[in-house]
Chains A and B, each alone.
Chain A
Amino acid sequence: MAITSDRTAHLPEITIPSVGLSGRRLRRTIGRTFTYGALIAWAFVCLFPIFWVVSTSFKVAQDIFQGRILPWLQFQPDWKGWESLGLSPSTIGEPSGNRDFFLKHAMNSVTISLAAAAIATVVGALAAYGLTRFSYRFGPWRNKDISFWFLSQLILPPIALAMPLRVLYRPDGLDLLDTRTGLILIYVIMNLPIVIWIMRDQFGSIPLELEQAALVDGATIWQTFFRIVVPLAGPGFVAAFILALVFCWHEYFFAVVLSGANSPTLPIQLAGQVSSQGIRWWSIAALSTAAIAPLAIIGILLERYIVKGLTAGAVK
């Protein structure tokens, strides 16, 4: 068959046995229908749970027990779920114990996530820069071994760290149990491998000549780093910071092991929803919506950076 100028010609088409005289055209149409169909189907799979969570937050008990799905068509939206959080139009102006409870968890999540992500990004980027630009020797260990030490912590099952820390953090120990500082410290540790992975890739792609020129002109290493390298590595910093933020926001395990009444985060409030009165779906759904909204928005706006972070080093 002659070479066509069609851009899709070289992509592996979903081949379907030739049908009839206009076989090729028909195959192409069937192929593309299948492609779009599959994509839309998966998009539905991705979006339906989100739709369900949001729409359930506007339901009342009987809507749930009758399994209604479509708002306005099958049920009338109601603010009850959001009232229980103190976030509905009628309750938002008034004091609300539930809202304070929610805000405590939310503020903890925000503070801890931002702090841990920021610290991890800074410390990890510095280490990554060192590992890409200098040759270290600590005893028998060189750059390669040091890099391995950091990256291998990705493999570390958190449980292996959580048990000793649960003991160490006690009041007669480090007394970091149920504190934000305690959680921030461990989140920094958990994020370091990923930050170093991403930033190593980022720094590796910056040509050496720029820094060499600066050094020849008499700048110190630190001046060179801050004035020349950091601006160039901006996207990498953003990607690393966002991925660290995502991890901290989602993190449930260490939070539940190491926090109590003072420093609980949103995932803990979510998991604690099952009460003795039974499950109040509308308020759980409202809470879930509030918990997933921030990162969903970040995901939509900053998708490019997230993809950059995820593919760092893995794709040449």
Chain B
Amino acid sequence: MQQALGRGADVAVGGVAPERRARGRALLIAASVIALVVVVLQIAAMIGWDDAPGIASWRTVALAVLGWFIAVDIAVVLMHGVRGESALFLLPALQLTAAFVLFPTVFGLYVAFTNWNLSAEQGRTFNGLDNVRALFRDADFWRSMLNMVYYVIAVLAQYVVAFGLALLLNQDIRGRKFFRVVFLLPFMLSPVAVSFMIGRSILDSQFGPVAQVLGSLGLDNIALWEDPWPARINIMLMDAWYSIPFMMVLLLAALQGIPHEVLESATIDGASGRQTFFHMIFPLMLPVSLTAVVLRIIFELKLIDVVRVVTNGGPGGATDTVTLFIFREGIEKANVGYATALSQFYLICVIVLVTAILAIAGRWVQKFS
């Protein structure tokens, strides 16, 4: 739109009345001074400077910062005219994320190196790399990390099922709208609500319908939850129930976007169904497939709801996820220092993993196209 505005934009900026710019600048300076004063007072109170007036609290600081943000927004428009107006579109989102993503993460880096326990009385002390050392020795933590590997691999199986469903739905069938709505439903339901019922009731080892069906097939007393691998697979099944609609929707939309001529030409040339699939459809679907799988993996790495409600990580940590483990440390045991260290470590792992996946995927797509 800068092009649309052309020279006009420059003229407008240059043409902002000096009084307006002065007002904007004054507002900015005033807000900055106030915010700075409040921050200094708060720090002084924290350090224990008794002469400091006792007005400051963290809430006051937050309000002062908020005031400063708003002042910046207004000042930008006053001082920069049209270009200021265009900046105003982006500023609120930037300010929000700076306050609630950037600042907590940086603050977390500080907390991660203390031994802070919220229910302990001594408060926090800096404890150097103790948390990091404990992290590497924590077998339960590493078991939950290994579980994440299993869960991520399960995503690939979900992908295959989702693709199959998308292929089926893409055919000329009656009642397609009905199926599409029904298939989307699992995505719309509260995971906590339904996984509780699926996990504890439907899959109940004694009274659930699944156990009844298995019993009628002659498989009595199957331990659905007492052993590690059945428990994991049950969690994966429940997770799949939620996640497959998401991938299926993406894949179906992409399938419907493949022009018919492309497929017809293949059939004309005498290609069989399987050849058409592997050499034409699958490569065309590769970008969307990668998007769907990568997004699913990203969400999978955050898994906690289902596991906490159904097994709480059991039996013996077999279904534990990293998030649940850290949650237990930081909230149930109030070991905030250690838990923050764990979560920062996990954050780094996730960033590295996703970057690697995206890089490999990018190269793969290039090879195919």
Contact = CB atoms under 8 A, between A and B. Distances in A.
A132 to B, nearest CB: 9
Contacts of B62: 174
Contacts of A154: 295, 298
Contact of A163 (B94, B302, B339): B339
Given A49-B241, A299-B181, A315-B250, A211 B93 contact: no
A274 to B, nearest CB: 9
Contacts of A257: 327, 331
Interface in A289-303: 291-292, 295-296, 298-300, 303
Contact of B194 (A8, A49, A150, A185): A49
Interface in B126-175: 164-165, 167-173
B100 interface: yes
Contacts of B52: none
Interface string B82-106: 1001110110111011001100110
Contacts of A159: 302, 304, 322-323, 326-327, 343, 346
A307 B330 contact: no
Interface stretch (A79-87, A96-104, A265-273): A265-273
Contacts of B192: 250, 252, 267, 270-271
Given A253-B304, A267-B190, A161 B200 contact: no
Interface in B242-268: 246, 249-250, 253-254, 257, 260, 263-264, 266-268
B85 A126 contact: no
Interface in A244-270: 246, 249-250, 252-253, 256-257, 266-267, 270
A166 B4 contact: no
B5 interface: yes
Contacts of A236: none
B354 A155 contact: yes
Interface of B is mostly: helix
13 contacts: A8-B171, A64-B201, A69-B209, A130-B86, A157-B350, A163-B330, A221-B1, A267-B190, A270-B193, A271-B196, A284-B197, A300-B185, A307-B249
Given A8-B171, A10-B263, 19 more contacts: A12-B263, A14-B273, A15-B273, A52-B201, A67-B209, A127-B89, A162-B330, A172-B58, A186-B100, A250-B190, A250-B192, A252-B191, A273-B196, A292-B190, A295-B189, A306-B184, A314-B292, A315-B288, A316-B287
Interface of A: 1, 3, 7-15, 32, 35-36, 38-39, 42-43, 45-50, 52-53, 56, 64-67, 69, 123-124, 126-127, 129-131, 133-136, 146, 149-150, 153-168, 170, 172-175, 185-186, 188-189, 192, 196, 208, 211-212, 215, 220-222, 225, 246, 249-250, 252-253, 256-257, 266-267, 270-271, 273, 279, 281, 284-285, 287-288, 291-292, 295-296, 298-300, 303, 306-307, 310-311, 314-316
